[in-house]
Chains A and B, each alone.
Chain A
Amino acid sequence: MAVDSARADTFPKLLVRNARLYAGRPAYRHKDLGVWQVWTWEQVLQETRALSVGLGELGLKRGDKVAVVGSNRPRLYWAMCAAQALGAVPVPIYADSVAEEMAYILDHAEVTVAVVEDQEQVDKVLSVSSRLPRLSYLIYDEPRGLRDYDHTKLKWIDEVQRIGRGLLAEPQGLEHWEASVAAGKGADLAIMLYTSGTTGRPKGVMLTFDNLIVSAENGNLFDRLGPDEEVIAYLPLAWVGDHLFSYAQPFTAGFCVNCPESPDTVAEDRREIGTTYAFAPPRNYENLLTLTMVRMEDAGAFKRGMFKYFIELARLWGEKILNREPVPLHARLLYWLGELLVYAPLKNRLGVARIRLAYTAGEAIGPEIFRFWRSLGVNLKQLYGQTEASVYVTAQPDGEIYADTVGKPNIGVEVKIDDSGEVLFKSPGVFVGYYKDPEKTTETKTIDGFVRTGDAGFIDPKTGHLKIIDRAKDVGRLNDGSLFAPKYIENKLKFYPNIREAVAYGNKRDCVCVMLNIDLTAVGNWAERNNVVYGSYQELAGHSQVYDMLARHVEEVNRSLAEEPAMAGAQIRRFLILHKELDADDGEVTRTQKVRRSFVAERYAPLVDALYNGASEADISTEVTFEDGRKGMLSARVKIRDVNTVPVPTALEKAA
């Protein structure tokens, strides 16, 4: 086995290995027509091979770039492997990008063939194809609605596979393909992932097979992942996390990837499969918790009472039991009863009944949310990673779990903190460079092989774990010299279920002010229970009772900030609730839902001014982009509230 994996240094080679090693075991499942369709590793090899040979016949050759656009469907994953088998490089693109964003990447990456999901994506690519002279073929997975399109450059994926199967049946056909697979090396470019980037144009991160395969294998080792795991693939293909968890790790460890029926059915599909290994941004865990709490509010008094009692019990003992700490017998017995009555049915409902390991990453997770999941017996852990690292930088080992750290360096990873507080790492997963951008590459990679993460953090002396405070460039100071870490404040705010998004300002200013987005599910439900009538998101967001409620949250955050000497100076003085949700289509958040603070400040400049000039309300009119790309104007008058702060000695007084 060790010899095997040493030889299999590319994904196509791993596929050939798995078809032999795990021949009859499921490799991919896809729910289609209401039924889970299964492909074994052997079948995946056949499908991929046919597609690969077909692509070769269409002229795809070593070094070419292949765009892959769509949701998590087996054939899109196979398309990546099929391209790699020919020495071509897949470039996954976010499926919800608008045509312009897509055009930029297709052009920058010099894509010659695009494999896309359906008519929607075909239309987007065709709308910009006149600017893409290199693009020679557009291949689609779902034929609906495409019958009457001009098929000179357009091909159905089945058609490409049919061509491939025909050629494979000819003498030398198979040998020819196998020779092409054998020609691939671990040091070859495996994939280019465009990072959405909080500023500027997306950058193409180049990763080799060695980067991904060694990182995946180290990850498998770190968490003891084997061929029996079940994962559900639902995160964007273009995100490094999905590429590692739904592609690199299943290929190396041999476990099964389950593709949901549609993006709207993920929760249902997850429950049916009962995944054992999961990965999600904090937002998902938070949404599930919010949803559970909201649903429980509507339950009968008996059920609600039982739920409250056992959730409280779990809060007391659940984590200790999970961490194998000593727990008194009566608590164990009660917890067992709770498992029977509440936890197990709830976990089943949430699709985590069989979960062995769940990761959260990408953002800080609310300590309450983190503890809630762990108290139910879900082994939720934190991970810190980057596209440039092939994901893994640090992760929490089993038994060393803290709500506010991101863990220890993974196997083979070295982490250091430079004088400015920025986190740097060195690992086998370190990327080759940014595509066609040597300048940015040298900015990011140091001479001794370390990569600048752009994040500010420190090693916690108590636990030896890494803690991340904010983006290094975002950490600033107020005019009175107090430290201002916007993300830190925003995260504290976002941990309240009623607050969906927060944007904090304060660098080089007199005080901290924030703009908030309400969470429509939570606040909407609250409104229903309290007979607050509203006609739209905008109306609810501007409601004075909503303002009262959020003002209490902000004041609580101020109290918690006051307890931490380093952060006490940066308490929130004023806040407002935005009239619209921050949206990726308007460029206000990235496709991975991270707020672009400076862009938001520019876009809502009148509001930011009003926050700092003492006005009690301000008018704002912004352009919004609808899902189909059309634009409209949205105007509103937004109220601004002052909140109480906890008095603390200022930096000057402290010095005196």
Chain B
Amino acid sequence: MRAPSEQDVAAGEVLLSVENVSLAFGGVKAISGVSLDIRRGEIRAIIGPNGAGKTSMLNIINGFYQPQHGRIAFKGRERSRMRPYDAAHGGIARTFQNVALFKGMTALDNIMVGRTLKMRRGMLWQLLRVGPAVREEVEHRRQVEEIIDFLKIQSIRKVPVGKLPYGLQKRVELGRALAMEPDLLLLDEPMAGMNLEEKEDMSRFILDVNEHYGTTVALIEHDIGVVMDLSDRVMVLDHGVKIADGTPDEVQSNQAVIDAYLGVAH
């Protein structure tokens, strides 16, 4: 276990740093004293067995949970309290483990929702649908179309997402997060419940997002194989404690990680 050293910081600009945070629900400690840094432009993974505190960690970064201890700095600015709304404004987008889309709306409309934050004209303008509001919407639509093209979901543009198979719903959710043009994209188990082919597609898209848009990605995943292929650096949590942090190779050969995953006789 180690905190981000000077060397790490030198390797790339730190976009988000979490120092020594702890989170407890009543008496249950979800996270204890974990430090983590995410560098601009990297794909950072947080892995760990069930109940290791992965999603809690994501919720802390996202501002959904307030840690009892520790400090968080995003883009160099330390923050005391942050709500998810502020996080979104600040450039953090996320997807959810159990797909949180508007089921009755089309894929296109769901992704357009992601542009809401970027719309300057208010609701009245948009209801009137005149001049500037229409021009603005056309511009947003163009950007959304680029995302649709990017994710290869042209054929489901006008399909209500509730009718789509799970793998495609996940893709639409990724599209909505991308529509926010985030600096940091948080993915909560992007491959959960997918078959092998869907997993490969999703990996491809995550790599492409990272390369094409230069988006920094932090992801939580169960499937270790996928993570190791995808990530630049991996942090391993177990029972709310960081047990390893480093490149996929370093992590894979770490005895503590092997023990945590395979179990050891206590």
Listed in ascending order, the chain A residues whose CB lies under 8 Å from chain B are 32-35, 144-145, 147-148, 261-262, 264-265, 268, 626-628
Q: Give the chain A neighbours of B149 by CB distance below 8 A.
A: 32-33
Task: Verify A627–B208 contact, CB threshold 8 A.
Answer: no
A262-B149 Cα distance, complex, nearest whole Å: 9
Task: Verify B146–A33 contact, CB threshold 8 A.
Answer: yes
**Interface membership of B136, Cβ < 8 A:** no
Chain B stretch 114-133: residues in CB contact (< 8 A) with chain A: none
Min CB distance, A13 to chain B, in Å? Answer: 35
Task: Verify A34–B208 contact, CB threshold 8 A.
Answer: no
Task: Verify B155–A628 contact, CB threshold 8 A.
Answer: no
B contacts with A, residue count (CB < 8 A): 18
**Interface membership of B2, Cβ < 8 A:** no
Q: Give the chain B neighbours of A145 by CB distance below 8 A.
A: 204, 207-208, 211-212
A34-B141, A34-B157, A144-B212 given; name 12 further pairs at CB < 8 Å.
Answer: A32-B149, A33-B145, A33-B148, A144-B150, A145-B211, A147-B212, A261-B155, A264-B155, A268-B155, A626-B197, A627-B197, A628-B197
Min CB distance, B106 to chain A, in Å? Answer: 12
**Interface membership of B69, Cβ < 8 A:** no
Task: Verify A34–B200 contact, CB threshold 8 A.
Answer: no
Q: Give the chain B neighbours of A262 by CB distance below 8 A.
A: 152, 154-155
10 A-B residue pairings within 8 Å (CB atoms): A34-B141, A34-B157, A144-B150, A145-B208, A145-B211, A147-B211, A148-B211, A268-B155, A627-B197, A628-B197
Listed in ascending order, the chain B residues whose CB lies under 8 Å from chain A are 141-142, 145-146, 148-150, 152, 154-155, 157, 197, 200, 204, 207-208, 211-212
Task: Verify A34–B148 contact, CB threshold 8 A.
Answer: yes
A262-B155 Cα distance, complex, nearest whole Å: 7
Q: Closest residue of chain A to B146, judged by CB?
A: A33
Q: Give the chain B neighbours of A33 by CB distance below 8 A.
A: 142, 145-146, 148-149
Q: Closest residue of chain A to B149, judged by CB?
A: A33
Q: Give the chain B neighbours of A35 by CB distance below 8 A.
A: 145
Q: Give the chain A neighbours of B146 by CB distance below 8 A.
A: 33
Task: Verify A265–B208 contact, CB threshold 8 A.
Answer: no
Q: Closest residue of chain B to A630, judged by CB?
A: B196
Min CB distance, A591 to chain B, in Å? Answer: 21
Q: Closest residue of chain A to B143, judged by CB?
A: A33
Kindly identify which residue among A144, A265, A627, A628 contacts B154, using a CB–CB cutoff of 8 Å.
A265
The 5 residue pairs across chains A and B that have the minimum distance between CB atoms: A264-B155, A33-B145, A34-B145, A261-B154, A265-B155
Task: Verify B197–A144 contact, CB threshold 8 A.
Answer: no
Q: Closest residue of chain A to B142, judged by CB?
A: A33
A557-B149 Cα distance, complex, nearest whole Å: 47
Q: A262-B152, A262-B154, A264-B155 are in contact. Are A144 and B208 (CB under 8 A)?
A: yes
Min CB distance, B202 to chain A, in Å? Answer: 14
Q: Closest residue of chain A to B200, judged by CB?
A: A628
Min CB distance, A31 to chain B, in Å? Answer: 8
A237-B154 Cα distance, complex, nearest whole Å: 21
A628-B212 Cα distance, complex, nearest whole Å: 23
Kindly identify which residue among B152, B154, B204, B212 contacts A34, using a CB–CB cutoff of 8 Å.
B154
A34-B145 Cα distance, complex, nearest whole Å: 6
Q: Give the chain A neighbours of B154 by CB distance below 8 A.
A: 34, 261-262, 264-265
Q: Give the chain B neighbours of A628 by CB distance below 8 A.
A: 197, 200
A33, A148, A264 pick with most chain B CB within 10 angstroms: A33
Q: Give the chain A neighbours of B208 by CB distance below 8 A.
A: 144-145
Min CB distance, B243 to chain A, in Å? Answer: 32
